[in-house]
Amino acid sequence: MIASRPSRRRVWEIMEIAEAGDKASRLFDLALFTLIALNILAIILESVGGFYANYRTVFDAFDAFSVTVFSIEYIMRLWSCVEDDRHRKQTPLGARMAYARSPIALIDFAAIAPFFIQFLFPGIDLRFLRVLRMLRVLKLTRYSQAVSLLLRVLYQERKSFGAAFFILMVVLIIASCGIYLFEHDNQPEKFGSIPAAMWWAVATLTTVGYGDVTPISPAGKIFGAIVTIVGVGMVALPSGILASSFTEILRRKQKDYKLEIKSALEDGVISQDEMTMLDRLRKQMGFSREEARELVAQTERELQINKRYEIDWEKRIVHDIEKDVERDLEEVLEHEIEEVIGQEIDKDIKKAIASHSPAFCPHCGGKL
């Protein structure tokens, strides 16, 4: 168990996504977002040869400043990550190692790695470093719900995507072998081998169709048409996986948000603290205010319907119980009435018998 420190906890709160009312955290997010955007712009402008040559000193100074800021950010995140509730049960070293292996921490490390690579290996190609420095754009994933959602979808559906791409590779090999068989003799310069034919297969299966390589034989054209039709389905397969997964995650988010709304509406009224909590949760889940209001309205309608149903159900139960009680009372009364009537009849019969039969002497048995 890690003991919490107020200063370290505050650093972690500031460096995480800003919550409602936390001005310091919001200012930090805005400053870091601006610095990342300026870095992307600088990397793009550096590729313009004359522009970079004229302002090389400015670009190098800005890159050094950015790397310094990003390095301090990385170190501070690594130091304060033990305050994350997900790591509270780990040792400080274990928590930091777990955070360092997380995707977002690896992105932060990749953002500063090119500078140190250039420092350690001065002769490395600058174009390669520019490509690596473009990885800084991935730091924006921390502030983009859409990108975070996409990464979550890709991770959750990794097995489905793996199966889809495996099928795609099988179809790609079949298409390459087939077009090589049909077109090798007619176009040996374009379909000279199966690896060379794979370029046509990729362009056809992805329905891009650049047109630089096309079959000319009748059999090749028929085979190409079949591959094109199959390619439409192959492109639709990953798209369907993405769409269904996006829908499922959105449905789960809406369900979780509605559960929080129901919890807030237990007393019938959403207090100011509950409203603040719901607004903070709304931002974390990426809902707009209009979507949140619609979810609140839906939840209220569902609660009203459930309440009316519960009342109707209770009334029905009470009505059934009353009917059962009345039926039992009627049966009891009928039974008691039958007993009373039976007793009265027995008495009348006994009196009638006693009045019409002769009397006998109790001692000798003779008639009186």
Distances in whole angstroms, Cα of residue 268 to Cα of each of 262, 263, 271: 9, 10, 10
Measured N-to-C along each axis, helices 194-205 and 158-183 cross at an angle, to the nearest 10 degrees, of 120
103-128 residues labelled b (16+ CB within 10 A) or e (exposed): eebebbeebbbbbeebeeeeeeeeee
Tell me which architecture the domain covering 159-287 has in CATH: Orthogonal Bundle (1.10)
Element (H, E) at 269: none
185-224 residues labelled b (16+ CB within 10 A) or e (exposed): eebeebbeebebbbebbbbbbeeeeeeebbbeeeebeebb
Residue 53: other Cβ atoms inside 10 A: 8
- pLDDT tens-digit readout, 175-218: 999 999 999 888 888 888 999 999 999 988 887 877 788 899 99
CA 19 distance to own-chain centroid: 21
Is residue 318 scored above 70 in pLDDT? no
When pLDDT is averaged across residues 33-53 and rounded to a whole number, the result is 84
**pLDDT in the model for residue 357:** 52
**pLDDT in the model for residue 175:** 93
The segment(s) of the chain belonging to CATH 1.20.120.350 are 6-143
- pLDDT tens-digit readout, 240-292: 888 888 888 888 888 888 888 888 877 777 777 777 777 777 777 777 778 88
Asked if CATH classification 3.10.20.30 holds for the domain at 6-143, the reply, yes or no, is no
- pLDDT tens-digit readout, 129-147: 667 777 777 777 777 777 7
The segment(s) of the chain belonging to CATH 1.10.287.70 are 159-287
Cβ burial, residue 306 (10 Å; 0-12/13-18/19+): exposed
